[in-house]
Amino acid sequence: MKRPDNTAPVDRHLIIPLFIPHLGCPHQCVFCNQRTITGATAHTPSTEQIRTEVKRFLRHAKKRYASVQISFFGGNFLGLAPHIMKQLLDAAVPFVQRGDVNSLRFSTRPDTVSHQTLDRIGDYPVSTVELGVQSMNDNVLRAVARGHQAADTVTAARLVKERGYQLGLQMMVGLPGDDNDGALATARRLVALKPDFIRIYPTLVLAGSPLADLWRHGRYQPMALDACVTLVKKLFLLFNRHQIPVVRMGLQASDGLADGRNLLAGPYHPAFGHLVHGEIVLDAIQSILADDCPANGHLSIVTHPKMVSRVQGLNKRNLRQLQERYPLSDVVIIQDENFAPNQIRVGRQTLYLDT
């Protein structure tokens, strides 16, 4: 594994989210209740609401960012009526013209991407288009009432890239009719589309969604959290091997999810991505201990300060598991700022992790 450049700067990017829950969607997929996820109601934000929200984010942005983007999330952007699309874009453009924001981005369904719809945004400073793929298995897409086929995603991805936009793809795990092998098959097909980045979302049972009825009647069983973390870990490593960044794993915490009012079941955790990274690190440590466990029971792990939380695992679960699985009396973590951010030394062996 190639040693990383420890002196390379880390780019920070600010995305200002403007939620348009369920707007532009032709119907409701079984897993969907965007109002639960976003905490917003389904209406088109006015020009003044957009300006107020963007100004609020810019006012509270204390760090320097490599780029700032305004993003329309939660709906089907290219499925909006042309006059609504224009209204939203026109409200955001002045921030780009003034230099406060670099560009615009949005998420949309694959089956609404066409030459005609892309022509409508051609004169606007849009840089990124995200496709809500969810699965590349047509049987799964039918089971969740998605309303499009995998072939639509292939065509949409090609059109987006031909226009020079950055391409993001969103996939889901634990969908009705899907399994681990199916999720990995979807991931391999997404790799072939050569996206610029990926988001991975676990399927949750949300109040007000058709999936909630299936769950209540015993016709759908969500993934357990630990099993979902392990599957997403495999997907992350697959994308990582192909140099495709995974920019998010798991839904962001929101009032509707964090307090349990709207989340009925499913593998939700506010630090889902941290659980995935922690398991990757734990696997690496165990691969060494399987062949070279210290005879005296004392294990030292040296790593960069930024890696400490991943070595420990959430609430130090990795350290507990190591002591449960191996004859270790104690595990000591030593911080070394001279290490690369993804470098660890376990006993006498050094690794550079894919995390």
For residue 8, is it within any domain? no
For residue 4, is it within any domain? no
pLDDT, tens only, 247-264: 999 998 765 676 677 899
116 with 248, same domain: the answer is: yes
Residues 6+ apart with CB under 8 A from 265: 204, 205, 215, 222
69 with 182, same domain: the answer is: yes
For residue 32, is it within any domain? yes
What is each CA distance from 99 to 104, 218, 226, in whole angstroms? 12, 53, 44
Q: How many domains does the chain have?
A: 2
* Range(s) of the domain holding residue 333: 282-352
218 with 162, same domain: the answer is: yes
Task: Point out the domain boundary residue: 270, 292, 322.
Answer: 270
pLDDT, tens only, 305-320: 999 999 999 999 999 9
- Determine the pLDDT at residue 100: 94
For residue 208, is it within any domain? yes
Angle between helices 272-289 and 317-325 (to 10 degrees): 30
For residue 174, is it within any domain? yes
Residue 349 in tokens: 């062996």
249 with 286, same domain: the answer is: no
Question: What's 95's domain CATH number?
Answer: 3.20.20.70
Average pLDDT (115-136) is 98
Angle at 38 between CA 167 and CA 172, to 5 degrees: 50
CB distance 73 to 106 below 8 Å: yes
290 with 260, same domain: the answer is: no
Rounded to whole angstroms, the Cα distance separating 7 from 306 reads: 14
The DSSP secondary structure of 332-347, one letter per residue, reads EEEE-TTS-TTEEEET
- Determine the pLDDT at residue 355: 80
Among candidate residues 83, 133, 139, the one with its CA nearest the CA of residue 108: 133
- Determine the pLDDT at residue 42: 54
Task: Point out the domain boundary residue: 235, 270, 305.
Answer: 270
